[in-house]
Amino acid sequence: MTSYVQQLPEPWPPCLHPVDPRPNPYSEPDEVESAGQKSTGSEDPCEHMVQTSAQVLEAPLALLTLVQGGVETLKASWRSQDIPSCPAGLAAQVVQQQTPLAISAMAGASWTGAYLGVPWLTSTGECLGALAIVDNQPRQFLPWQIEFLKMTARWGASEYERSYKAYTAPGLGNQLKLQLLAELAQDLRTPLTAIVGMSSILGQEVYGPLTAKQKQYLEITHHSGQYLAKLVNQIVDLTTLSGPNLTLAATDVRMLCQRAAQDLGPELAKREQEIALTVEPGLLTWNLDREKVRQILQQLLHSLIQTSSPTSTLRMHVSRRHDRVQFMLWATHPWLGENPAGEISELPLGQLLTCGLSPDSRELFGLQFSHYLVHLHRGAITIQGSRELGYRYLVSLPRLG
């Protein structure tokens, strides 16, 4: 075998100037098929690369072979006619020498052909394999054909790197996991709806009388199903938040608070608690990101539900202070009075770790997430009180938009 590498003569052949070697998107598919070639139609840059090399250089076979540790692995191929593959070891030789390898005539077991391979180099200079064309008859490769194959290999490597970076971009894995989690949560809705509906019908004794124990178990099943359905809704809501960008709209603050409280109905019923909502007269709408603020209120209410005594009343008051809207949330109990916290003192969010909240508790995660969403809304959140006397949350959001 002989190596054939020469400098590119000028000028370039008129049909092959050094431009993007991708196939012309406006070419008619009938023209390709009439030449005995079949387009792959793939968006994979490796497939484009081998197809372009075979079509432009008029070769019946083009190969992209990866070489790692001396082992050759076929990454992509394109052929226009039935032709035996070239002998093994040629791609490894190209990678080892990192120079083009042109063989005008080589003898196989039952055929004679030609081979032209060039290194497939990344932007950092790492040689991953070889891009090659193979002919089924002896052929003298011209310098411009070698240069064109090198150019095509460079373009294919850059496109491959770009697509690889897109799939390994920071945060993409978390995004895909959130999308999968949303789909799984959606799949849970159907059986949960069936459980809640059927337990409700059975509890009405439509199909016959029930014993006291059966009624008790059906009631537990029904309430548990409702609670799980609400949790699924919360999971779906979390996974569909619009990222760090705000989607502002004129929002009815009373309806917003009522919806946040409604979603926590099963938790309130379990602890025999209720929510009392008051809104300052004249305060109707405010420019907010509706879903993000609803999440803030839900997480803070959940924290109050878990940290306050059973049968407590959770209070939520909305007021306007200059150019800001304020949401105040706290818990009261008949035998503790309306202001159980007594002397109010502000508490930094980080100090909650030392106030009885477990580092891996949902309550702490919810507070941290609320703090993050308030920050996105350019607002402020103040935490007052103590674990023993109860917490009070004050969320202040500016008018945006």
Give dist(CA 60, CA 53) in Å, integer: 10
The pLDDT assigned to 206 comes to: 87
**344-383 pLDDT, tens digit each:** 445 455 555 445 556 567 777 788 888 888 988 889 888 8
| Pair 49, 76: CB distance under 8 Å | yes
Q: What would the pLDDT profile of 24-75 be if each residue is shown by its tens digit?
A: 333 333 333 333 444 334 467 888 889 999 999 999 999 999 888 878 888 8
Query: What is the length of the chain?
Result: 401
What the block records as the tokens of 255 is 């309806």
User: Which two tokens mark 149?
Assistant: 């194959």
pLDDT tens for 234-274 read 777 777 776 778 889 999 999 999 999 988 888 888 888 99
Q: Which residue has the tokens 């909502």?
A: 277
Superfamily of domain 29-167: GAF domain (3.30.450.40)
State the pLDDT confidence band at 165, using cuts at 50, 70 and 90.
low
- Which pLDDT value is given to residue 263? 81
Of 109-113, 128-132, 219-223, 295-299, the one with minimum mean pLDDT is 109-113
The 3-state DSSP class for residue 351 equals helix
CATH 3.30.460.20 fits 245-401, yes or no: no
Is residue 130 predicted with pLDDT exceeding 70? yes
User: Rounded to an integer, what distance in angstroms lies between the CA atom of residue 161 and that of residue 155?
Assistant: 10
Record the tokens describing residue 339, joined without a space.
Answer: 């202001």
Count CB atoms within 10 A of the CB of residue 218: 19
The pLDDT value given to residue 89: 86
Do residues 312 and 332 make contact, with C-beta atoms less than 8 angstroms apart? yes
- The mean predicted confidence, pLDDT, of the chain is 77
pTM exceeding 0.85:
no
Q: Which residue has the higher pLDDT, 289 or 88?
A: 289
Supply angle C-alpha 367, 330, 380, rounded to 5.
50
